């Protein structure tokens, strides 16, 4: 995380050391990243930190964060983050998840929203919407890097990496991220069979943001995911694929801030 190195901090959750970015001030936002690559979306986080306190941890087993033996599933990760919110004593949290991170965010929100104010699901995985013969989510583990970039980005060159110029720490983080993603999402592939029928429990304002050119999970998948969350809104971001916070950081940050401010105004009006 070189661009934001001064903001990298460590905290401890039930004996587990967690590396995370913590920058800006204002309403707290917990940003759960996609777990792919090493860039957490520094340009987006810088923009969001102008209005919010942006907290972006590395998931257990990813980046430089430890994975304790008891964390073996996405369900375990969701309880870990509920413990993190308790440890940091955060309230009225804007929970934002991208791809795999959105799956974790959904698992958090179906359990407890006491500390949450809003939920933003970005190109989320985590549920099955088609029949058993239909692949809802492209198999990222079967793709070459070029194939992944073509599917994940509107402009595939955005995802290109020069491994020879990467630091040893970033190379290690990249390898750990891929290994950990496979550990958590290999089988059943990228979803929890029980999650879809529990999404009705989410009771905070929810926004689904989707890259219009995402070829990992289609906009139709996103709309069906959104339909399972009461009152959720679905919006496309053009000129972006599976990781719109990387390709369109300005638009991405603006959509989140607009959603949070709009919903907060509506809540205040309803309360008065």
Which pTM does this prediction carry?
A: 0.94
Question: What is the per-residue pLDDT for 250?
Answer: 97
- The total domain count for the chain is 1
pLDDT for res 7: 84
Neighbours of 7 (CB within 10 A): 19
250 lies in which domain range?
2-129+136-271
Averages of pLDDT over each 10 residues, the chain, 272 residues: 64 93 95 85 93 96 92 97 97 98 98 98 97 92 95 95 89 92 95 98 98 98 98 98 97 97 65 52
What CATH number does residue 172 fall under? 3.40.50.1820
User: What pLDDT score does 4 carry?
Assistant: 52
Phi, psi of 50 (to 5 degrees): -75, -20
CA quadruple 213, 219, 225, 228: dihedral positive or negative? positive
């Amino acid at each position: 995380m070189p661009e934001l190195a001064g903001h990298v901090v460590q905290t401890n959750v039930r004996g587990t050391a967690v590396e995370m970015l913590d920058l800006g001030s204002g309403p707290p936002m917990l940003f759960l990243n996609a777990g792919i690559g090493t860039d957490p979306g520094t340009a987006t986080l810088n923009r969001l930190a102008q209005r919010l306190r942006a907290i972006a941890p590395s998931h257990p087993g990813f980046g430089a964060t430890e994975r304790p033996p008891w964390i073996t599933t996405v369900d375990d990760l969701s309880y870990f983050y509920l413990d993190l919110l308790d440890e940091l004593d955060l309230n009225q949290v804007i929970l934002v998840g991208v791809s795999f991170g959105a799956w974790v965010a959904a698992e958090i929100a179906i359990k407890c929203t006491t500390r949450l104010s809003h939920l933003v699901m970005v190109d989320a995985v985590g549920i099955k919407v088609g029949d058993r013969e239909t692949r809802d989510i492209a198999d990222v583990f079967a793709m070459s890097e070029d194939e992944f970039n073509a599917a994940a980005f509107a402009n595939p060159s955005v995802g290109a990496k020069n491994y020879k110029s990467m630091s040893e720490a970033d190379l290690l983080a990249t390898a750990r991220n891929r290994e950990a993603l496979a550990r958590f999402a290999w089988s059943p592939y990228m979803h929890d069979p029980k999650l879809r029928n529990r999404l009705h429990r989410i009771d905070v304002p929810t926004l689904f943001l989707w890259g219009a050119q995402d070829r990992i999970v289609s906009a139709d998948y996103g709309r069906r995911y959104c339909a399972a969350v009461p009152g959720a809104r679905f919006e496309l971001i053009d000129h972006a694929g599976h990781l719109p916070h990387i390709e369109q950081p300005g638009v991405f940050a603006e959509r989140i801030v607009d959603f949070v401010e709009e919903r907060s105004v509506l809540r205040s009006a309803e309360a008065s």
